Amino acid sequence: MDYSNQSNISNLKITIFQAYLFWENVEKNLQNLALRLSMGIKEKTDLIVLPEMFNTGFSMNAEVLAEEMNGTTMRWMRNMAEKYECVVTGSLIIKENNHYYNRLIWMLPDGAFAHYDKRHLFSLGQEDKNYTPGNDKVIVTLKGWKIRLSICYDLRFPVWLRNQNEEYDILLTIASWPDIRSAHWNALIPARAIENQSYVIAANRVGHDGKEVYHSGHSQCIDPMGKTVYYKPEDEDLYTFSISYEDLLKTRQNFPFLRDADNFKII
């Protein structure tokens, strides 16, 4: 791999919002998130990361809560991206062609966007009975960085997230991961970073949901060597940190493990 044309890529500033969410209350969530962002964003950032189903909580009530792609939450995301002059990302329930999706939106300040539909639906929580899985892996770019999009349960499936041919630099996952399995969360995130020689940025929520499931956060960023850049358990948190492209390149140059990986196709 020739890294010479990548050396001029600048560092990236990331803001994770580990938020408390109000159960199935879109209006209250959007108002609270906007207020918290206005109070907490103290410096220029490139990306604001919100949790899975940030406007409703992780609900199976898709028929009632789903929005169209031109709905209230999409407009809110565009307003936030424009206001803070950065990308805003998080997932919501979308209805499209009579199907319901847990859809991650990657919203740019000019209103353009990409999206990723969650592939691995959480059968233990009946998500597979209420939503349609996505089939496409999605990689977006930001300031020269290549970012692979994923949602929560995807984290358990390393084949789906495998970094083939160094196709991405960051694995971004948003989640509603319960406290009872936080040990799994804290083990899987560094594993994905190390095996893929990428940063992993993982944003979770905090607090109880409408089914009294407790979420303890543990949002974090792990670098390609498995070291912690950011980590926050338990409390609501809005935090901005920087990640280094130079460090990423050094890791891949000094430890070229990805070159020895198996080639495969997902069927």
Residues marked as catalytic: 52, 118, 152
Burial class (CB within 10 angstroms; exposed 0-12, middle 13-18, buried 19+) of 43: exposed
Q: How far apart are CA 90 and CA 100, in angstroms?
A: 16
3 state SS for the chain: CCCHHHCCCCCEEEEEEECECCCCCHHHHHHHHHHHHHHHCCCCCCEEECCCCCCCCCCCCHHHHCECCCCHHHHHHHHHHHHHCCEEEEEEEEEECCEEEEEEEEECCCCCEEEEECCCCCHHHCHHHHCCCCCCCCEEEECCEEEEEEEHHHHHCHHHHCCHHHCCCEEEEECCCCHHHHHHHHHHHHHHHHHHCCEEEEECCEEECCCCCEEEEEEEEECCCCCEEEEEECCCEEEEEEECHHHHHHHHHHCCHHHHCCCCCCC
Torsion of CA 134, 200, 43, 48, to 10 degrees: 10
